[in-house]
Chains A and B, each alone.
Chain A
């Protein structure tokens, strides 16, 4: 009696897992595989798995879309600085929120939660003329500050949750030994909250590397990021160079995909901490 039922459940689970895997990976796999195909094989109906792989799309991307590679460099610069800025500021503030209780502090923490409700597109309206006037238009700096600004509130809350898990006795012992608050932060808290900092870094890196709206509004040539260049390639799609587009998309995607997989544990912990605690 029991056996067929168990078999049925196992079969059901296997089918479900297969569907989930196809759903998650098919769109990614399709463009990745197709990026190694000649155009005539991309256009072959039906889709073929067996084909002669070629790097011609990557070569064409290199030769025709040099802007894509400077876009990658811009994305890298912006992502690195936005991440360092957001993680450090969040860690310092998270420490203060974790170890101190005061109505003034609670109000300012509430303010951080409130801030997350303001849609990014709203603030582009006044920032656009201001950025132009300061001649910061089309610089890395604008995007670095914007990306960090939109993640320090979440980052602070995530860091507070992680630092809450470090026993306060450690701080107290250090204070008795005469350590100042900054020394405790630098020597004890920061080294012990590495997991939290990685969690915050995952958010900022994925966001900054992929962001589209701010980059569309605030960059034109010098600071153009990789997603903007890809969107221009889609725009030129009437004479579709699908293969070259797939090559660019694969290059843009692969590093951050690997990173998300490697930092999976911290990503999950960060998502849970960031949403359940505010």
Chain B
């Protein structure tokens, strides 16, 4: 098979995938970039307005509220997940009875939809009948009034996001922990290393790449947070619990401001790219390193 013919054949095989992502994701995303420089509402002719949409978004206090909410929730959710996931990965790797069963238990939230999760957590924290509310009351602790206080609303959103996505972080870290060769621990044990030293000098350094990957993916996906907030608080009270995706949705589909919504959309894209820049560079180098020119 000639190389040229080989390449054409390979391109034909990747064509369906490339076509669908180009048509459904890439071109629309570029169109949003164009829209973000236009003044446009649904059904009206567009008009070039330069950066006016961006300056309108950036001077909107609701945008900043949404940005701060998103940043806080993402930072809390991703790092708590990382710590819990790491702890669970170490616990599972240390040998447990009925490990396959426990793995199924831990994976269960992965199957739950955001909508169902909201039903569950609303029920747990219901002000009058919630089992968690009752437990908090019994312990003399303050309860969550997520319909009244924005911070409570964001807290419960963060809690339910962690619950939904912990399986992902855990699996990545657990797989990485299992791939650490056992001989390393034997060698460390022979050298008389304490459990803490073994963790600090063997486990942790070898898990760092997986931790970075898990964090990166969770940053990018947590940044898109929409359904949990939309269904839990609707962004209220008084738009105080909106996150960026909810802000964008409201601008576009409630206020018909496609220009500012598009500008918000591109700010989201740029932020995602910024977060992933190091990762993209690494992948890029790896890909072109093993490809003969």
Contact = CB atoms under 8 A, between A and B. Distances in A.
Interface of A: 13, 16-17, 20-21, 23-28, 30-31, 34, 42-43, 45-47, 89-90, 92-93, 95-97, 99-106, 108-130, 145-146, 148-150, 152-153, 156, 175, 181, 185, 206, 209-213, 217, 227, 230-231, 234, 242, 245-246, 249, 252-253, 256-257, 259-261, 264, 267-268, 271-272, 275-276, 278
18 contacts: A30-B131, A99-B10, A100-B7, A101-B292, A121-B249, A121-B268, A122-B269, A123-B32, A129-B42, A150-B25, A206-B110, A210-B114, A212-B227, A227-B114, A227-B116, A242-B123, A252-B116, A260-B111
Interface string B277-293: 00010011001101111
Interface residues of B, number: 95
B18 A121 contact: no
A92 B288 CA distance: 22
B113 A252 contact: yes
B112 A257 contact: yes
A267 B266 CA distance: 32
A25 B280 contact: no
B163 A27 contact: yes
Contact of B265 (A27, A110, A125): A125
B214 A234 contact: no
Given A100-B10, A210-B114, A146 B24 contact: yes
B206 interface: no
A234 B118 contact: yes
B139 interface: no
What is the predominant secondary structure among interface residues of chain A facing chain B? helix
Contact of A276 (B29, B210, B223): B210
A93 B17 contact: yes
Interface stretch (B51-59, B74-82, B168-176): B168-176
A278 B102 CA distance: 28
B272 A118 contact: yes
Contacts of A20: 88, 91, 102, 105-106
A96 B120 contact: no
Interface in B1-54: 1, 3, 6-7, 9-11, 13-14, 16-18, 20-21, 24-26, 28-29, 31-32, 35, 42
A261 B181 CA distance: 28
B21 A115 contact: yes
B42 to A, nearest CB: 7
Contact of A92 (B16, B88, B123, B210): B16
Given A234-B118, A260-B111, 17 more contacts: A21-B105, A89-B17, A97-B14, A105-B10, A106-B287, A115-B26, A116-B220, A120-B224, A122-B32, A122-B269, A127-B28, A128-B252, A129-B42, A210-B114, A227-B116, A231-B231, A268-B175
Contacts of A249: 115-116, 119-120
A126 B143 CA distance: 43
Contacts of B157: none
Nearest to A211: B113
B119 A117 contact: no
A13 B94 CA distance: 9
B115 A119 contact: no
B120 A31 contact: yes
B69 interface: no
B248 interface: yes
Interface in B241-272: 245, 248-249, 252-253, 258, 261-262, 265-266, 268-269, 272
